């Protein structure tokens, strides 16, 4: 028997937290966070982590669990999330994954063998040095020579992915597979995949307001506390939106207004990338939150869809 699983995704600031908690209350769910920043302790404001009050008694997992001085990989997420799904099912409750980190979602709905992912630290460092010295286009042209399809898919400025594609080729002699051909749907879960969306301008307005609220709520003080622990912009946990921009402000690279404007801009760009990622899923059902005047109507429609997909009625 496949285990039932609800997955709710969408761009940052779309309204995933409120919507998922309302549904969880109705369907007796417990929530697993699929957010690469909310997993870290002490990174509450910048990651827009729901407070205890906002969680309304719904248990949340993989949230506020890892020291920000430690790295947390997609493999670790996959392993921990699967453990929690099993424990939730054993309690006769419905597991629900909620978040905007696409790789985390992929690790659950597809059978990906992470053990086959070879890596060569020296080679990666050499390629990073080349990008710094000769520029992103130079590295991208190098990829185009050995894997034209990957070069077509990957933007020259996405240096991390360009390097990964070159690393795969140099290490294995094989070309890196794309999103559609590399992924085999899981047989482990009977999952229902829900995407939340809004009018683009409405979403961007919400993002701008959220950034202003983060500053009001004490984001600068939060970043100072994390820096006091010895964290800096080179740490993986501090590369998240809201943290790297405020670090630069605190170091004098930006004034506060510039840091806020850059954070708003980069968050809007991130939301756009999230939407592009989630639109690749062929089995996703989208709900436009802007089309609902009443939250209750939205909840009713989503629950009806979930019940139909998971045969809960």
Residue 30's pLDDT band (cuts 50, 70, 90): very high
The predicted-structure confidence for 40-51, as pLDDT tens digits, reads as follows 999 999 999 999
Which range, of 33-37, 63-67, 120-124, averages the lowest pLDDT? 120-124
Are β-strands 60-61 and 94-99 bridged in parallel, bridged antiparallel, or unpaired? unpaired
> With contact defined as beta carbons under 8 Å apart, do 140 and 156 qualify?
yes
> With contact defined as beta carbons under 8 Å apart, do 154 and 165 qualify?
yes
The rounded radius of gyration (Å) of the Cα atoms in the chain is 20
Cα–Cα distance list, 262 to 33, 45, 191, 253, 258 (Å): 26, 17, 37, 12, 6
The predicted-structure confidence for 278-300, as pLDDT tens digits, reads as follows 999 999 999 999 999 999 999 99
Q: Give the span between the Cα atoms of 34 and 278, in whole angstroms.
A: 14
Q: Which domains does the chain have, with CATH numbers?
A: 3-112+183-310 (3.40.50.300), 115-172 (1.10.20.140)
**Alpha helices, H only, 7-158:** 16-27, 52-55, 74-90, 102-109, 121-134, 136-146, 148-153
Q: Give the span between the Cα atoms of 17 and 99, in whole angstroms.
A: 9
Summarize the confidence of residues 26-31 as an average pLDDT: 97
Q: 78-81 — which CB contacts under 8 Å span 24+ positions?
A: 78/104, 78/107, 78/108, 78/112, 78/114, 81/32, 81/34, 81/107, 81/108
Residue 295 DSSP code: H
State the average pLDDT for the chain. 92
Query: In this structure, what are the phi and psi dihedrals at residue 38, rounded to the nearest 5 degrees?
Result: -70, -15
Q: Give the span between the Cα atoms of 141 and 67, in whole angstroms.
A: 39
Can you give the pLDDT at residue 17? 96
The predicted-structure confidence for 86-127, as pLDDT tens digits, reads as follows 999 999 999 999 999 998 999 999 987 665 555 678 888 899
Q: Give the span between the Cα atoms of 289 and 11, in whole angstroms.
A: 12
Can you give the pLDDT at residue 122? 85
Can you give the pLDDT at residue 173? 76
Q: What share of the chain is helix, strand, coil (3-state, %, to 5)?
A: 55, 10, 35
Can you give the pLDDT at residue 117? 53
The predicted-structure confidence for 1-12, as pLDDT tens digits, reads as follows 899 999 999 999
> With contact defined as beta carbons under 8 Å apart, do 191 and 5 qualify?
yes
Q: Which has the higher per-residue pLDDT, 35 or 174?
A: 35
Residue 152's pLDDT band (cuts 50, 70, 90): confident
Q: Give the span between the Cα atoms of 168 and 146, in whole angstroms.
A: 11
Can you give the pLDDT at residue 177? 65
Q: Give the span between the Cα atoms of 191 and 111, in whole angstroms.
A: 14
């Amino acid at each position: 028997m496949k285990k039932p699983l609800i997955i709710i995704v969408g761009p940052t600031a779309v309204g995933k937290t409120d919507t998922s908690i309302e549904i969880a209350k109705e369907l007796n769910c417990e929530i697993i966070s699929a957010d690469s920043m909310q997993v870290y302790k002490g990174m509450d404001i910048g990651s827009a982590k729901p407070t205890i009050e906002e969680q309304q008694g719904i248990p949340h997992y993989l949230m506020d669990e890892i020291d920000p001085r430690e790295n947390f990989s997609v493999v670790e997420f996959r392993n921990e999330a699967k453990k929690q799904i099993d424990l939730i099912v054993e309690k006769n409750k419905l597991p629900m994954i909620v978040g905007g980190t696409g790789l985390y979602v992929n690790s659950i709905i597809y059978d990906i063998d992470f053990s086959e992912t070879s890596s060569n630290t020296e080679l990666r460092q050499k390629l990073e040095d080349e990008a710094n010295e000769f520029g992103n286009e130079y590295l991208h042209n190098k990829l185009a020579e050995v894997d034209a399809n990957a070069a077509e898919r990957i933007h020259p400025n996405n240096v991390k992915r360009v390097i990964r594609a070159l690393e795969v080729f140099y290490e294995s002699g094989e070309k890196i597979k794309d999103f559609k051909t590399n992924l085999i749907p899981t047989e482990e879960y009977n999952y229902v995949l829900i995407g939340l969306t809004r009018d683009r301008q409405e979403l961007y307005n919400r993002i701008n307001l959220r950034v202003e609220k983060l500053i009001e709520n004490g984001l600068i003080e939060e970043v100072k506390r994390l820096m006091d622990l010895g964290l800096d912009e080179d740490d993986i946990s501090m590369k998240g939106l809201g943290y790297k921009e405020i670090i630069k402000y605190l170091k004098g690279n930006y004034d506060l207004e510039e840091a806020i404007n850059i954070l708003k801009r980069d968050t809007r760009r991130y939301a756009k990338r999230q939407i592009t990622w989630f639109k690749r899923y062929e089995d996703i059902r989208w709900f436009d939150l802007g089309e609902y005047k009443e939250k209750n109507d939205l909840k009713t429609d989503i629950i009806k869809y979930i019940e139909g997909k998971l045969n809960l009625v």
